[in-house]
Chain A
Amino acid sequence: MIEWLKSVGRSFYNAWVPEKRYLAYFSGLRMTLLISLFAVLIGIAIGVMIAIVRVTARSSKLLVIKILDKIALVYITVIRGTPMIVQIMIIYNLIFTSPNTNPVLVGAVCCGINSGAYVAEIIRAGIASIPAGQMEAGRSLGLTYAMTMRTIILPQAFKNILPALGNEFISLVKETSVISVIAVNDLMKMAGYVGSRTWDVIPPYVIAAAIYLIMTLGLTWLMGLLEKKLAKSDRR
């Protein structure tokens, strides 16, 4: 038993200390964080645009909006109906064929395009959950559709969807690990490199898992704080 614990300890020591291997995890972590951050931003940008198109299309008679709505529907269907790893392979080989593309850009675009579809549906459901009377009240005061959306509907929708959005971001951080199948040195890939160097793959992957867990726990905590802050108008 003690022998076994000693050997496990040695394995983890080997996976962390010699040749400053911890630096590999940190550089991978840095890459994962950067990709996650930009992917979230891209995902929100795409998500908000698509959601607004889809919501507006219900009441608008403009042909442009109707066409955009159809495009949005195709995008959402395809992205949600195919595995992310396949999407990454296609996007990577289709767009980023130059050998010296920025890996953060590649990762963020791939993950962001994927996340956008999910975010769009979350936001659309959030907007739909706001009673029609709110839009009517805004419009009856003379506010334009866009003003009412921005100042009245979206803030309320955002509050309602925050838990779902938080879950989406947390799974996005985890799913960026799939990006390691292409030439991006994220946390997952760096753990793999360490494993191939020490001939012992389990400890580096356990270390990577621990780092992912810390990140998602941190995000969960942040989301909780934000929810609490936004709940201040709920006091009765």
Chain B
Amino acid sequence: MIYTKDLRKRFGDHDVLCGITQHIEKGEKVVVIGPSGSGKSTFLRCLNMLEEPTGGEIIFEGIRITDPSTNLDQIRQKMGMVFQHFNLFPMKTVRQNITLAPVLLKKMTQEEADAKAEELLKRIGLPDKADSYPGMLSGGQQQRIAIARALAMDPDLMLFDEPTSALDPEMVGEVLEIMKELAADGMTMVVVTHEMGFAREVASRVLFIDEGIVAEENEPGEFFGAPKNPRLQDFLSKVL
């Protein structure tokens, strides 16, 4: 599905990613954890080229998207992204937020997109919010709508960049619930998060990124039960 080879990113003279090689297969749920500043968000943002890598390559569904000649806009249509701060469009209604991209990119007519929006809103449990503006909604509701907005493009891969970090504690659950349902439906997901419970329950594989490299990776049982890397042991002892 998506494959990174020796992925590197440098900001000024600071190396954030120091060579990450990863194969993420269709249907996998990869959870990325690590201390802040370790490069985990940068890694995720490189996957859809919001951050341009300074070295290495990324191959998505057989296309080398790090090539300058790649049409990134087309690639990104197949990769949904959910942000820490939701980034909903504030002057558009919830329905417009969801239907904007599919209609503008001529994937659907307005009627088809509206029907899709209705279906998605039902799925995330907010069918009555179609005509609300994002500013009227709680953080948890906004993030659920941000997920619906990404799903409206029928992506093959969903990227989550700390989707619950900006939420009040009582709203974390409703967002994780949607993500769990999505995982159960077979969506391929890469999730950067601090929610260890989610990682343990949903992940097919957990990556520990530290100082720009994948310091340890394993299926969640082993990862949390018997961590080998001392820095991971230290990290887990602090967060668990």
Query: Are A140's CB and B100's CB within 8 A?
Result: no
- Of B83-91, B173-181, B184-192, the stretch lying at the interface with chain A is B83-91
Residue among A140, A232, A234 making CB contact with B76, cutoff 8 Å: A140
| Cβ contacts under 8 Å, B91 to chain A | 155-156, 159, 230, 233
Distance from A135 Cβ to chain B, minimum over Cβ atoms (Å)? 9
Q: How far is the CA of A232 from the CA of B76 in the complex (A)?
A: 31
Q: How far is the CA of A104 from the CA of B37 in the complex (A)?
A: 60
The answer to the question of A151 belonging to the interface, with a C-beta cut-off of 8 Å to chain B, is yes
| Cβ contacts under 8 Å, B136 to chain A | 235-236
Closest to B78 in A: A142
Query: Are B81's CB and A140's CB within 8 A?
Result: yes
Chain A 209-236 near chain B by CB (<8 Å), digits 1 or 0: 0000000000000000000001011111
Query: Are A142's CB and B135's CB within 8 A?
Result: no
Query: Are A233's CB and B50's CB within 8 A?
Result: no
The answer to the question of B209 belonging to the interface, with a C-beta cut-off of 8 Å to chain A, is no
Closest to A230 in B: B91
Q: Answer whether A133 and B101 are a contact pair too, CB < 8 Å, given A141-B149, A142-B77, A142-B153.
A: no
| Cβ contacts under 8 Å, A159 to chain B | 91
Query: Are B83's CB and A137's CB within 8 A?
Result: yes
Distance from A158 Cβ to chain B, minimum over Cβ atoms (Å)? 10
The answer to the question of A101 belonging to the interface, with a C-beta cut-off of 8 Å to chain B, is no
| Interface size bracket, B side | 20 to 34
The answer to the question of A165 belonging to the interface, with a C-beta cut-off of 8 Å to chain B, is no
Closest to A156 in B: B91
The answer to the question of A143 belonging to the interface, with a C-beta cut-off of 8 Å to chain B, is yes
Query: Are B83's CB and A133's CB within 8 A?
Result: yes
Q: Answer whether A140 and B135 are a contact pair too, CB < 8 Å, given A134-B87, A152-B89, A233-B91.
A: no
Q: How far is the CA of A136 from the CA of B82 in the complex (A)?
A: 10
The answer to the question of A144 belonging to the interface, with a C-beta cut-off of 8 Å to chain B, is yes
Query: Are A143's CB and B105's CB within 8 A?
Result: yes
Closest to A140 in B: B81
The count of residues in chain A whose C-beta lies closer than 8 Å to any C-beta of chain B is: 24
Which applies to chain A's interface (DSSP): helix, strand, loop or mixed?
helix
The answer to the question of B198 belonging to the interface, with a C-beta cut-off of 8 Å to chain A, is no
Closest to A231 in B: B91
| Cβ contacts under 8 Å, A140 to chain B | 48, 50, 76, 79-81, 83, 150
Distance from A6 Cβ to chain B, minimum over Cβ atoms (Å)? 58
Query: Are A141's CB and B101's CB within 8 A?
Result: yes
The answer to the question of B133 belonging to the interface, with a C-beta cut-off of 8 Å to chain A, is yes
Q: How far is the CA of A138 from the CA of B73 in the complex (A)?
A: 10
The answer to the question of A21 belonging to the interface, with a C-beta cut-off of 8 Å to chain B, is no
Chain A 106-140 near chain B by CB (<8 Å), digits 1 or 0: 00000000000000000000000001011011111
Closest to A234 in B: B135
| Cβ contacts under 8 Å, A230 to chain B | 91
| Cβ contacts under 8 Å, B100 to chain A | 141, 151-152
- Supplied contacts A136-B83, A235-B136, 12 more A-B pairs, CB within 8 Å: A131-B87, A134-B89, A136-B50, A136-B87, A137-B89, A138-B101, A141-B80, A141-B150, A142-B74, A233-B92, A233-B133, A234-B133
Q: How far is the CA of A162 from the CA of B80 in the complex (A)?
A: 33
The answer to the question of A147 belonging to the interface, with a C-beta cut-off of 8 Å to chain B, is yes
8 Å CB contacts to B: which residues of A173-196?
A: none
Distance from A206 Cβ to chain B, minimum over Cβ atoms (Å)? 44
| Cβ contacts under 8 Å, B81 to chain A | 136-137, 140
Query: Are A141's CB and B153's CB within 8 A?
Result: yes
| Cβ contacts under 8 Å, A137 to chain B | 81, 83, 87-89, 146
8 Å CB contacts to B: which residues of A141-176?
A: 141-144, 147, 151-152, 155-156, 159
Q: Answer whether A236 and B87 are a contact pair too, CB < 8 Å, given A141-B150, A144-B73.
A: no
The answer to the question of B104 belonging to the interface, with a C-beta cut-off of 8 Å to chain A, is yes
